[in-house]
Structure 1
Amino acid sequence: MSQHDRNEAAVRQLLEGAAPTVPAGLYEEAVRRGARQLRRRRAFRRLLWLCLLAATVAFVIWASLAQPWVDPPSETTPPLTRW
């Protein structure tokens, strides 16, 4: 009998009883784990937003300095002087 089968049998025994009871401390443990998971998700989401903001600022600064939408000056023909 594997550990999974033993766990399943224990759960079935609890549920098939007259009134299913929750083991002591289970609620507190679930609340603690849920709160920790919520804090981690919130921190990860904030980190992603911060990275997105930093990338946007870096792109705007690069675009304002490099001006990629402007054609580079032509260097193949000399400028016209004394026409």
Structure 2
Amino acid sequence: MNTVTMYWRPGCAFCIRLRAQLRLARIPYRKVNIWRDPDAAAFVRSVADGNETVPTVVVGGHPAMVNPSVRRIREALQD
């Protein structure tokens, strides 16, 4: 199974929603707080047109997804 990594930041309502949806879908994931990890923040900016837009999710070797749905994450996991 591919690894799901979710880049997030405290106070982000979209992140809170996606985390809850991933738990309900029983999709394991790794969280990376971009406010505590400068390299992670730089990565998010590199895939989000210079913005720190979260949640940003990476599934295995797939391109990063900015604010994806659980459906998109599931699809990436099936590839």
Taking structure 2 as the reference length, the TM-score comes to 0.21
Pick the structure with more strand per residue: 2
Pick the structure with more helix per residue: 1
Relative contact order higher in (CA < 8 Å, ≥ 6 apart): 2
Bigger-Rg structure (1/2): 1
